[in-house]
Amino acid sequence: MVDDGRPIWVGVCWDDLAASPEQLGRIAAASHADPIIWDGEAPAPDVEVLIADDVPDVIPREVPHLHLLQLISAGVDTLRGHPVWCSDVAIATASGVHGVQIAEHVLMLLLALRRHLPSYVEAQCRHEWAHERPAEGELYGLTLGLIGYGHIGRGVAHLARAFGMRVLATSASVREAAPLAIPGASPFVDLPAVPMPGHAPDQLLPLARLDDVLAQSDALVICAALTPQTTGMIDANALAHMKHGSYLVNIARGKLVEEAALVQALRDGRLAGAGLDVTADEPLPSDHPLWGLPNVIITPHISGKSSHYVERTVNVLLANLDRLRRGEAPLTAVDRQRGY
């Protein structure tokens, strides 16, 4: 679509979070028309761009002029098999809106595991001054492995480097190893009592080198998209390649990990702990063995939540509306062949 000055009719089908009047006003200014608040059921023949959380099954049948589906999420695995996936409607994600809060959530989980926070919280609930605990560890000097190096992976890498960690990352989009440029540096570089770790440099590696990353990582963070190729990629074999006493954090999708193998690795000490914001079945069943493991921290798929979420997502929509007017592809367009 090339801008001819006419309105672009934008539909808003957003149950979880509501845009403010000011944000709706900015959408109206960019589209030259008031947004259409749509319940996802009645036909919406005028809508050309739709921003949605839970995509209605009537798309694209009841929205015949739809050019662009703007998701409020980064993942698109739930759309496979949906009629819109097999249509020619462009799909854009909200990739980029999660990099800050999820990166902070990852570091929170790693610090809590490394510093034995759950045991202190339990002691506090018992009103117990539980001073005798295993020596608390540090993140400083450890190697962090990242599976996936998009906006979230880069955000995690930035914070990890601020904690003095070395970072290795794998990406399905790279074919050979390359240096990993991460903004920011350790705040401890000038302290003679805290020398910088003598690690090899940070690297970005192809996914084929995953075993190398597993073997070197003291903490592994999963940031990859769920596709048929990545489903169950962290299985018993992958866990066997991980460093003894390492940590695993999953903020991507639960089905990237074989949970039975993960439980076994946590029980037998292969892994020192796990921080899980996602599980294969959500909500996690109350009788699942992960609940009872003392070296596991579970959060209910909330790492992406933020008071800034709506504003950032609206900004993605506005940028893509501008590109649509110029006849350009969305910044966050989904590649259906790759699955994300």
Residue type, 257: V
Only one residue has tokens 């979420």, namely: 309
Task: State the catalytic residues.
Answer: 253, 282, 301
* Three-state DSSP string of 294-319: CCEEECCCCCCCCCCHHHHHHHHHHH
DSSP E strands in the chain: the ranges are 10-13, 36-37, 49-52, 68-71, 90-92, 143-147, 166-171, 178-179, 203-206, 219-222, 246-250, 271-276, 296-298
Determine the pLDDT at residue 179: 86
- Cα separation, 281 vs 273, in Å, equals 20
pLDDT at 140: 94
Residue 165 tokens, joined: 């960690």
The number of C-alpha atoms within 13 Å of 109 and in the hemisphere containing its C-beta is: 30
130-139: which pairs have CB atoms within 8 A and are 24 or more residues apart?
Answer: 138/114, 139/107, 139/110, 139/111, 139/114, 139/163, 139/164, 139/165, 139/219
Q: Residue 195 has what pLDDT? A: 57
Task: Judge contact between 31 and 49, C-beta under 8 A.
Answer: yes
Tokens for 84, please give them: 């819109």
Cα separation, 288 vs 280, in Å, equals 11
pLDDT at 130: 87
Following CA atoms 239, 245, 246, 248 in sequence, which dihedral angle do they give, to the nearest 10 degrees?
60
Q: Distance between CA atoms of 271 and 51, rounded to whole angstroms? A: 41
**Could you tell me if 272 and 247 are in contact, meaning their C-beta atoms sit under 8 angstroms apart?**
yes
* Averaged pLDDT in 10-residue chunks for the chain of 340 residues: 78 81 95 94 94 93 96 94 96 95 98 95 93 83 96 94 94 87 58 56 91 97 96 98 98 98 97 98 98 97 96 96 94 93
Closest CA to 170 of 131, 144, 136: 144
Domains of the chain, first to last: 10-97+306-325 (3.40.50.720), 99-298 (3.40.50.720)
